[in-house]
Amino acid sequence: MNIAENTVVDIDYVLTVDGEVVDESEEGQPLSYLHGANNIIPGLENALMGKTLGDSLEVTVSPEDGYGEYDPENVQELSKEDFEDEIEEGETYYAESSDGSILPFKVTKIEGDHIVADFNPELAGKTLHFQVTVRGVRAATAEELEHGHVHGEDDEHE
């Protein structure tokens, strides 16, 4: 079976950015995703289209097909007073937006009673290099298609 829309795909992967490994699947625990459901970044999903079990490929993904360009407007100054906890430079924190979604941000600087918060994704603006091996391809179940994600053997969720 070849990878196509509505297939569930298992991949082993190593993600390298600027010559450093930043993420990889664990030995014997490939990442499962539903192809065509935006479970993974578009650049990687497109490259896997049509591949089959055992295929290995190297994929270079530009920022626009990955985590987006780095946007200076996503960097904001916040008041230290708005935080209950001690804030440390270089750490990641979470803010709740007006619509209730949770937005991670990294504190890049602390200046007096202000902090500089960077809401860009960690890998924004980066070119991503993936080494990928296809470990499984199967048809998705009706329930998986309805939910838009892969179900494990004893999946418990709403």
For residue 40, the minimal CB distance to Zn ion (Å) is: 17
Q: Tell me how far, at minimum, the Cβ of 141 lies from Zn ion, in Å.
A: 10
Of 92 and 141, nearer to Zn ion (C-beta) is 141
Q: Does 129 bind Zn ion (CB under 5 A)?
A: no
**Quick one: 122 or 155, whose CB is closer to Zn ion?**
155
Strand ranges (E), the chain: 7-17, 20-24, 31-34, 56-61, 75-79, 92-96, 102-111, 114-118, 128-139
Q: From the CB of 153, what's the least distance to Zn ion, in Å?
A: 13
Residue range at the interface with Zn ion (CB under 5 A); choices 35-43, 84-92, 130-138, 147-155: 147-155
Alpha-carbon span 34 to 10, nearest angstrom: 9
Nearer to Zn ion, 76 or 141 (CB): 141
Give the number of other Cβ atoms within 10 Å of residue 125's Cβ: 14
Number of alpha carbons in the 13 Å side-chain half-sphere of residue 56: 4
H helices, E strands: number in the chain? 2, 9
Closer residue to Zn ion (CB): 106 or 147: 147
Its sign, for the CA torsion 126, 37, 152, 60, is negative
Instruction: Report how many residues bind Zn ion under the rule CB under 5 A.
Output: 1
Residue 147 lies near Zn ion (rule: CB under 5 A): yes
With beta carbons less than 8 A apart as the criterion, state whether 133 and 55 touch. Answer: yes
Q: Does 145 bind Zn ion (CB under 5 A)?
A: no
Choices 26-34, 76-84, 93-101, 144-152 (CB under 5 A): range interacting with Zn ion: 144-152
Smallest distance from the beta carbon of 110 to Zn ion, in angstroms?
41
Positions in the binding site for Zn ion (CB under 5 A)? 147
